[in-house]
Amino acid sequence: MRKGLFEALKEYGDSDHYPLHMPGHKRRGFESFNPYNIDITEIEGFDDLHDAKGLIRDAEDRAAALYGARRTYLLVNGVTGGILAALSALTCPGDTVLMARNCHRAVYGGLIAADLKTCYLYPEYAGCLMGGIRPEAVSSALSENPHIKTVIITSPTYEGFVSDIREIASICHEKGALLIVDEAHGAHMHFSGCFPASAVEYADIVLHGAHKTLPAFTQTGFLHIASDRVDRGRLESFLRIYQTSSPSYILMAGLERCISFLENEGKESFAEYGKLLEEIRGEIGKCRAFTLADNEYKGKAGIYDIDWGKLVIMPHLSLMTGYELAGRLREDYHLECEMADRTHIIAMTSVMDTKEGLGRLVSALNQMDKPAEYISEGMHKFPLPKSVMTMRAAFTGKAEYVGIEEASGRTAADLIYAYPPGIPLVAPGEAVTDQILDVIREYRDQDQDLKGLFGESRDLIKVVI
Ligand SMILES: Cc1ncc(COP(=O)(O)O)c(C=O)c1O
């Protein structure tokens, strides 16, 4: 019989496997404690997330002061809950949202929940990697569609590419639209000059996944109101809908502990982290078999800046694929990456990383290193699907399951995506084309687990009747 989840986790936690993935606490807490001992409900003296006036409100206000936000809310249903609330708060059913096509599936969920239409901004490619969103693209989309009042983009991307948020925000505001930035992967950027500036300085609502790059428990984050243009009461109503009515005090205490760390030790720790990243990036940059996405990406494909904390490593394909590299790092060096694709791996770092942990990555790459021809191979470029009906109508209406071979020309009724990164290959309401089906087949041939396929052999697609 398989061992239980708790037993398996304890065993793994005691092993020497090193996390190059989230959560950002890197399994090294600040102090040990018994979680049962602090797991309470809303009892006298411990405040209420949904009407915060005491200890929880203090934590929110301290986070707002740290980031320079007008108001910050603790998130315990992940960034997902915050994105759902932000989209609902800034729109009415039937509105159109200008969104980057490389948004996370949470944004698509928000469009379904709030019954919104979409106008897409398509990121460009920098080699095999998806880039950023150019301000000019936002400007022309808003000029062509003056009825659009809400814009949402992801920055940094999963690969750490940051768009020119300052300019994009200024365009949005000039044209009377509000900007939501899904900065799920950038909660750390505010704390060191070696990272790009946070969108909190420019946008209207900014989402942070504290658990992704800061020492905080999985599922936790911040929603920041970053301007005076947001109706707080409306946002709070939606947060009450999309966040659990039983928020975990363990998760909220973890966020408060993270805030204390940033207040008291942030400056010093981030300075050391910056130095360590510089060293590590320098060492990886010397490898002949691996290319590290670095400063040369700035200015290309809508990429304004890059987050140094993300190590995007492209093995030279004459030697091995990204899947093979991740497999070797796991098997031979006990290093677990955040993500692997055919062309690259992503190793996520955080302020909690140790010199030993990241050093192990450098020596593993050095041991595998040899002169190898760089073969430039574009990732199966994401298709540019066309919407033919609203996401909500397609997702909630009558649907049937058809084989991949028969799906061409039909309208998708569900999201199909690889996770990570959770960017849909096709979304509900979009036409299923031969090109999309080819990409789905390619993933399946590579044994990649795609979400949104049905049936025992995962060869059925849900389409609108
Ligand atoms: C860019 C982006 N946005 C939003 C989310 C959702 O965050 P969470 O898992 O905290 O709900 C993710 C998750 O990986 C993400 O990568």
| CA nearest neighbour of 225 among 397, 73, 434, 43 | 73
| CA nearest neighbour of 42 among 256, 258, 245, 216 | 245
How is the chain split into domains, by residue range?
A: 35-263, 267-368, 391-464
C-alpha–C-alpha distance, residues 440 and 418, integer Å: 10
Asked, as a colleague might, if the bond just before 156 is cis with ω within 30 of 0, I would say: yes
**pLDDT (0 to 100) of residue 113:** 97
Q: What does the pLDDT look like over 148-193, one tens digit per residue?
A: 999 999 999 999 999 999 999 999 999 999 999 999 999 999 999 9
**pLDDT (0 to 100) of residue 254:** 97
pTM of the entire predicted model: 0.96
Which of 21, 87, 101, 104 has the most ligand 1 atoms within 8 A of CB, as the residue to mutate?
104
Distance in Å, CA 157 to ligand 1 centroid:
10
Any residues with CB less than 8 A from the CB of 414 and at least 6 apart, and which? 395, 399, 428, 452, 461, 462
CB 251 within 8 Å of CB 66? no
| CA nearest neighbour of 309 among 266, 273, 262, 357 | 273
Q: Extract the runs of DSSP E, i.e. beta strands, from 234-361.
A: 290-292, 305-306, 310-315, 335-337, 339-340, 345-348
- Architecture in CATH of 35-263: 3-Layer(aba) Sandwich (3.40)
C-alpha–C-alpha distance, residues 403 and 408, integer Å: 10
CB 210 within 8 Å of CB 216? yes
> Using the 8-state DSSP alphabet, how is residue 427 labeled?
-
**pLDDT (0 to 100) of residue 379:** 56
Measured CA distances, 198 to 124, 287, 309, 358, 446 (Å): 22, 31, 14, 25, 36
Q: What residues form DSSP beta bridges with 29?
A: none
Q: Quick one: angle between helices 355-368 and 322-333, nearest 10? A: 120
C-alpha–C-alpha distance, residues 152 and 159, integer Å: 18
Q: Is the domain covering 267-368 a CATH 3.40.1280.10 domain?
A: no
Measured CA distances, 176 to 3, 147, 191, 384 (Å): 56, 9, 31, 27
Decide whether 35-263 matches 267-368 in CATH topology.
Answer: no
CA-22 nearest atom, ligand 1: 14
CB 449 within 8 Å of CB 418? yes
Task: Walk along the chain (465 residues) and give the pLDDT tens digit of each residue.
Answer: 899 999 999 999 999 999 999 999 999 988 889 999 999 999 999 999 999 999 999 999 999 999 999 999 999 999 999 999 999 999 999 999 999 999 999 999 999 999 999 999 988 888 888 999 999 999 999 999 999 999 999 999 999 999 999 999 999 999 999 999 999 999 999 999 999 999 999 999 999 999 999 999 999 999 999 999 999 999 999 999 999 999 999 999 999 999 999 999 999 999 999 999 999 999 999 999 999 999 999 999 999 999 999 999 999 988 999 999 999 999 999 999 999 988 999 999 999 999 999 999 999 999 999 988 777 665 556 777 888 999 999 999 999 999 999 999 999 999 999 888 889 999 999 999 999 999 898 888 877 789 999 998 889 999 999
152 lines ligand 1 (CB under 6 A): no
Q: Which of the listed CATH numbers 3.40.462.10, 2.60.40.10, 3.90.100.10, 3.40.50.620 matches domain 391-464?
A: 3.90.100.10
**pLDDT (0 to 100) of residue 383:** 73
Distance in Å, CA 77 to ligand 1 centroid:
11
104 lines ligand 1 (CB under 6 A): yes
State the sign of the Cα–Cα–Cα–Cα dihedral 396, 400, 404, 410: negative
**pLDDT (0 to 100) of residue 457:** 85
**pLDDT (0 to 100) of residue 378:** 58
